Chains A and B, each alone.
Chain A
Amino acid sequence: MRRTPSRRRTTATSMAALTAGALILAGCSSSSGGGTTSSSATSDGPCGTKAATTLTVGLFGTFGFKENGLWDAYKKVCPNITVQEDVVEQSADYWTRLKTRLASGTGLDDVQAIEIGFVADVVQNHANQFVNWNSVPNAAADKAEFFPWKWGQASNAEGSVTVGLGTDIGPEAICYRKDLLAAAGLPSDPATLATKWSTWEDFIAFGKQYEASATKPKDSRFVDSAASIFSTAVYQGTEAYADASGKTDVANSDGVKSAWGYATQAAAAKVTAGLQQFSPPWNKAFSSGSFATIACPTWMMGYIQGQAGPTYAGKWAIAPVLPGGATNWGGSWLGVPKAAKNQAAAVALVQWLSAKDQQVTMWTSAKQGGHFPSNSHAAADSSVASATSAYFDNAPVGTLFGAIAGKMKVPPIGLYDTQIQNALTTQLTNVETKGTAPDKAFADALAAIKQVTG
């Protein structure tokens, strides 16, 4: 469900990578999956089938369906349906496996999750292999429920083909260590910070005050990484890594240009900790206090709680602001491959999962990991708005992120956004930790990007 999960590797998955590396010589058959045409769900009732059926759902990371009890709830709605999860830890590995299965047309799950990092590829190259959500029963009603940009990200330019229904989105704010800011003698209440952090210039200037403080912890920096600023600011442009037609365009992107400017400015001002996001040292820093602030999409709340642990409850807080304007980081969809054995039942399950009530549950349940609804009706629900987070100093996360989600600006996405962002943020680490000149670093990043785009 994250934007740059290829960074977040564990030992176990690295071992999987070793195995995959050994298999690099192996080819795969190129027969394209035929798939049956969409059958009507209405004749078989609301569950898509009346026969006892097991549906497999291909996921990556933690989607939280099982954790929030949705599978058990569906068992009550459709007693004949049993859901079986097929989970891959890393979304990059998941995508490689999905591509292999799409190429061979076999082994596909009844439902396949699609992440923002590769949804553009699915739309451009595999749309004919997925059920089109514009031609399922209740299509128009479904469409009306989602944020239009969320629906659009999973659709082709004409809007005639849509490959998945949205799960969550990632409206962003700033998470910060209240105790560290207070120790530095700076304001630490969310309302004041919201007025002080409205632009990136202000945010960096505030960071300089933090660094200048004699009372802050010695090894603590203001923000975790230049990448944190870059990955956020790049989506505040009219373009990020692709133009309106979805074609990769880094050199002319206003988002890349301004984001690179802010990120290198922050690095030059020495307000960044120079950590690589999703690396083990970065993970440790959530509790060690190596940094005081971080750009914080809703799903980052879950990540912070996982890394910092209960000891730091109440020390972390959220400022209801994103420097430079509201935007989104991350999010996923659920699609149904036409080759799926139980297509009608799978369509019914996905419609149920992405409906208002279930998305409300995902956000409000006690075990929730920051899955903000992509269903705008769910986002507007009063129980979503009234949600607070005890861990984050009782932040009113419902209204806070709801306000940001309501005014988000979302640029077009392209085929290689994940790799391009990795190339740029890797070079930002060099600027921060090795003093590489920003121009040289940018040229190196473009060279690495050329390796991807060909």
Chain B
Amino acid sequence: MTTISPPTRAQRSHRLPGSRIAYAYVAPFFAVFLAFSIYPWLDTAWVSLHEVRLSTYDQSTWLGLGNYVNLFSNPFFWNAFRNTVTIGVISTVPQLCMALGIAHLLNYRLRGRTFFRVAILMPYATSLAAATVIFLELFDSKLGLVNWALHLVHLPAVDWQGSRWPAQIAVSTIVTWRWTGYNALIYLAGMQSIDTELYDAALVDGANRWQQFRHVTLPGLRPTILFTIVVSTIGAAQLFGEPLLYHNGMPDGGTQGQYQTLGLLMYQQGWTNDRLGLASATAWTVFLVIVVAVLVNTTLARRRDRQGTLSSLAPKVRL
């Protein structure tokens, strides 16, 4: 085995023309990235320090952190914040648990396995708008299928639009329905990368399927699970389309804001109420909330990793 030594100065200068061309190749991406990510990002920060309306865009006044102060003392913000957290929890937790179970089942040799694997991805491929319209019909308080089913088993009808928890559950159902299959597929890929010898060894030791799942599959999947939790957290913090369409395209999240998320609040502030400064402050706050949430997730996971003994089984996903 030969050791690779760092290139000498001569070798490096020899390679320079090539790397210049490489810069040219990546330049288009960075130009677009700069124009459509970095610039809006910084501009939003700047706008968030001003009182700005789109109608009088050239007459913005400096507020400093005024918009942020307004936001943190604003009941509409805290309502949206709470809703985002609760909808996030009641959509993400069942979603990931179900995805894990489905992936585990699909990992067995089933008849028609490919069919099932494609089928679980169908909701993800369905148009969000079309799906939400269907769910709106299902959850209709008067004529919906869900209340009809409740009636069959002699349960009282539920106001799936007007009451806070039922409405949040309904919105979460749409999210869960849409993303469970997607996560299941990611878990399935993770499971297939676990060494089959581990299962054989477990079998020899007399482990049943549940024990195999707990002691082989779960530990092997930990990096994958961490990845899906982070992605779902970001998705939950940005939740927008489902609750928007659930109230016929109005961003108020129900007549009492019962399912208004931070994404909807930001849209309402910016476009309905024409207060771009406040909306930008919300945008930045959401961004910081996401960063904090992801950091908490990964820190918790790392700490467990250090304490735990199982991590060596699985490859790491770098975040």
Residues of A within 8 A of B (CB): 6-7, 9-15, 17-18, 20-21, 24-28, 30, 32, 92, 96, 99-100, 102-103, 121, 125-126, 276, 279-281, 419, 426-427, 429-430, 433-434, 444, 447-448, 451-452, 454
Contact = CB atoms under 8 A, between A and B. Distances in A.
A433 B57 CA distance: 39
A26 B40 contact: yes
Nearest to B252: A426
Contacts of A32: 58
B55 interface: yes
Contacts of A426: 252, 255
Given A21-B267, A426-B255, A30 B57 contact: yes
B43 A125 contact: no
B269 A27 contact: no
B249 interface: yes
Contacts of B128: 18
The prevalent SS among residues of B at the interface is helix
Given A92-B272, A419-B272, A419-B273, A24 B57 contact: no
Contact of B267 (A10, A17, A30, A448): A17
A11 B250 contact: no
Interface string B273-306: 1110011100100000000000000000000000
Contact of B129 (A11, A27, A121, A433): A11
A20 B58 contact: no
User: Which A-B residue pairs are the 3 nearest by beta carbons?
Assistant: A9-B249, A27-B43, A14-B249
A15 B128 CA distance: 9
Contacts of B266: 21, 24
Contact of A27 (B40, B162, B250): B40
Interface residues on B, range: 35 or more
A11 B130 contact: yes
Contacts of A121: 55
Q: Which residue, of A11, A426, A444, has the highest number of chain B Cβ atoms within 10 A?
A: A11
Interface stretch (B115-123, B211-219, B240-248): B240-248
Contacts of B126: none
A24 B270 contact: yes
A14 B242 CA distance: 10
B253 to A, nearest CB: 11
30 contacts: A7-B248, A9-B248, A11-B245, A11-B249, A14-B245, A15-B129, A18-B128, A18-B244, A25-B280, A27-B39, A27-B47, A30-B58, A32-B58, A99-B54, A99-B55, A103-B54, A125-B55, A276-B255, A279-B248, A280-B248, A281-B140, A419-B273, A426-B255, A434-B162, A447-B75, A447-B76, A448-B76, A451-B74, A451-B269, A452-B274
Nearest to B41: A25
Interface string B93-124: 00000000000000000000000000000000
Contacts of A447: 75-76
A125 B56 contact: yes
B256 interface: yes
Contacts of A10: 249
A430 B258 CA distance: 12
A25 B250 contact: no
B133 interface: yes
A430 B159 CA distance: 13
